[in-house]
Amino acid sequence: MSKRFRSQEWFDNPNNPGMTALYLERYQNQTFTREELQSGRPVIGIANTGSDLAPCNKIHLFLMDRIKAGIRDAGGIPMEFPVHPIQETGKRPTAALDRNLAYLSLVEVLHGYPIDAVVLTTGCDKTTPAQLMGAATVDIPAIALNGGPMLDGWWKGKRAGSGTIIWESRRLLAEGKIDYDEFMNRACASAPSLGHCNTMGTASTMNAMAEALGMTLPGSSAIPAPFRERMAMAFETGKRAVQMAYEDLKPSDILTRKAFENAIRVNTAIGGSTNAPPHLQAIARHAGVELDVTDWQTVGFDLPLIVNVQPAGTHLGESFYRAGGVPAVMGELLASGRLHGDIMTASGKPVTEALNGARSEDHDVITTVANPLREKAGFVVLSGNLFDSALMKTSVISDDFRTRFLQDEVFEAKAVVFEGPEDYHDRVNDDSLAIDDHTMLFIRNVGCVGYPGSAEVVNMQPPDALIQQGINHLPTAGDGRQSGTSESPSILNASPEAVVGGGLALLQTGDTVRLDLKSGTLNAVVPDEEWQARREAWTEPELEHQTPWQEIYRANVGQLAEGGCLELATAYQRIARNLPRD
Ligand code: FES
Ligand code: MG
């Protein structure tokens, strides 16, 4: 196979010996030889997202050897480089702020260095979309490799899932049933090994999305981090990246509208995270694919939930993998005619061929479309005078919640409004708010611009007194997000957010609100003249930035419904082509 690769513009350009010499001498001093750099073989970048600050992805430090071995085995030259760390639970004010920063720096690396194809090492929530967005913008051959979920956590004989054990323990603490030490011990029990969250939170969801989009090898995303199959997958992915460089199989060949429709359907079937819509929207926009938040209802609502993994179910990542993982889910959907089978994947094969007849190996964990855990399990997209769009994850609505709040699918309540998570924590137990089961909790100023970055805070826990009466969830809504591990049926990702003048900014504690799931609306029941007067009295708040990036981000970011992208960046597409300027 002879082909002139982009990296030869650096390492073998007889028209510019001066620059070629400069490039060669410095890459040689790290043990690459001139012979190999001028061999005409492809340079395969490996975007390493693992570090001490990014524990969810730290497994990649150990997978590097196998990825590089695979690249060598197929005749490529591996070059590893670091990615700005994004750690979901450790980064203040929120990891979401850094998705676009990691995206931006990856675009510069992929565009500006001698890289012919890239292995994207994914894992923790935002590391996956950040890199798929970057690869889509630059459009060189790219393949994603998940680090894999942690082993299943266990606490006193019961599965302890990432995040889910936190929400449960918070309630038990509020009820006085556990103390501080037990809370900490329960939390740590959910994290028994290297890897990312073992629930179907945002990490497992986004890696399932990468696989459903066709950006990984089949079966890649669900293998638990410590399993030997994970090492083997790292080797195979490295090999495949080299072949993709020769085939020039680029994100633009894979990330089509049909691929996004497949991903949306898989998201419903797995009971995936409410963070998937903004991330997929961002990937689609950088790939130049038309997608809209309403597609989540039109394409995705009518599908069944078939995966029994927390938070929508009971199992965790190990069982999901053993039941067949994402290929089994896709196989079940394909067999029922719910998936496009004719589109290309990173494997070099179309979906149907790549799946190779995969079906569920354990119907307790992955069931069938004919016998689902829940019918019509996708997201409902709501609108009204409080926002143009917001999402509700229906697969986590418990029977108790439905009976208590959503009989006839309509709920009228008194609004209690919090100005952010600090205000919520300060006041939620304040008796004067008189929060009862005819209350809906609202939180605002927590969207992309407001927070900044959009915070995972909409799944607000009821006051302690209500929890002690057995009310574990109240209806909640807000312009932020919530953890993908939350089992709360919140109304979230409201766009436009309050600080840019979304209707949520005009809501007041004491207003009546009406949620109507049949018509897909949530409205403040406030007379038009009064609403208009509030609009006229509203002024844009002063925002306080803590870092330069926060200011840059706020000045350029769009709304969650549009993917929370740096708006100006969406104009740059397939930029690998126009190179020189050495
Ligand atoms: Fe990183 Fe969940 S916190 S994967
Ligand atoms: Mg999260």
Mean pLDDT check: name the lowest of 185-189, 391-395, 474-478.
Answer: 391-395
- CB of 522 shorter than 6 A to ligand 1: no
Q: Average pLDDT, stretch 488-514?
A: 96
- CB of 94 shorter than 6 A to ligand 1: no
3-state SS class at 180: helix
Q: How many whole angstroms separate alpha carbon 11 and alpha carbon 34? A: 9
Give, to the nearest 10 degrees, the angle between helix 96-112 and helix 548-556. 90
- How sure is the predictor about 212, in pLDDT bands with cuts at 50, 70 and 90? very high
Dump pLDDT digits (tens) for 422-436.
999 999 999 999 999
The owner of tokens 């992309």 is 448
Amino acid in the structure at residue 353 = E
Residue 145's φ and ψ, nearest 5 degrees, are -130, 115
Q: Which ligand is nearest to the CA of 483?
A: 2
Residue 307's φ and ψ, nearest 5 degrees, are -110, 125
What is the distance in A from the centroid of ligand 1 to the CA of 43?
30
> Which ligand 1 atom lies nearest to the CA of residue 201?
2
Whether pTM exceeds 0.90: yes
Q: How many whole angstroms separate alpha carbon 547 and alpha carbon 568? A: 20
3-state SS class at 105: helix
Outline where DSSP puts E strands in 338-386. Answer: 379-384
- How sure is the predictor about 487, in pLDDT bands with cuts at 50, 70 and 90? confident
Q: How many whole angstroms separate alpha carbon 97 and alpha carbon 453? A: 4
- Predicted pLDDT of residue 304: 97
- CB of 252 shorter than 6 A to ligand 1: no
- How sure is the predictor about 3, in pLDDT bands with cuts at 50, 70 and 90? confident
Dump pLDDT digits (tens) for 536-579.
999 999 999 999 999 999 999 999 999 999 999 999 999 987 67
Neighbours of 551 (CB within 10 A): 14
Outline where DSSP puts E strands in 40-132. Answer: 43-48, 77-82, 117-122
Mean pLDDT check: name the lowest of 2-6, 208-212, 346-350, 404-408.
Answer: 404-408
What is the distance in A from the centroid of ligand 2 to the CA of 453?
12
Q: For residues 364 and 338, is the Cβ–Cβ distance under 8 A?
A: no
Q: What's the per-residue H, E or C state across 114-172? A: CCCEEEEEECCCCHHHHHHHHHHHHCCCEEEEECCECCCEEECCEEECCCHHHHHHHHH
Dump pLDDT digits (tens) for 338-390.
999 999 999 999 999 999 999 999 999 999 999 999 999 999 999 999 999 99
Dump pLDDT digits (tens) for 46-56.
999 999 999 99
Q: Average pLDDT, stretch 20-38?
A: 93
- CB of 201 shorter than 6 A to ligand 1: yes
- Highest-scoring range by mean pLDDT, 10-24, 391-405, 545-559: 545-559
pLDDT above 90 covers a percentage of the chain that reads 92
> In the predicted model, what is the mean pLDDT of the chain?
96
Dump pLDDT digits (tens) for 263-299.
999 999 999 999 999 999 999 999 999 999 999 999 9
Which residue out of 121, 125, 188 has the highest number of ligand 1 atoms within 8 Å of its CB and is therefore the one to mutate? 125
Instruction: Name the DSSP class of 540.
Output: P
Which residue out of 94, 196, 209, 482 has the highest number of ligand 1 atoms within 8 Å of its CB and is therefore the one to mutate? 196
Q: Average pLDDT, stretch 501-511?
A: 98
Alpha helices in 139-256 (DSSP H): 164-174, 180-189, 202-213, 228-247, 251-254
- Predicted pLDDT of residue 578: 67
pLDDT above 70 covers a percentage of the chain that reads 99
- Predicted pLDDT of residue 1: 53
Q: Average pLDDT, stretch 138-156?
A: 98
Does position 580 have pLDDT exceeding 90, yes or no? no
Mean pLDDT check: name the lowest of 192-201, 308-317, 572-581.
Answer: 572-581
Residues 6+ apart with CB under 8 A from 287: 136, 251, 252, 255, 573
Does position 2 have pLDDT exceeding 80, yes or no? no
Q: Average pLDDT, stretch 7-19?
A: 94
- How sure is the predictor about 581, in pLDDT bands with cuts at 50, 70 and 90? low
Question: Counting every residue, how long is the chain?
Answer: 582
- Predicted pLDDT of residue 398: 83
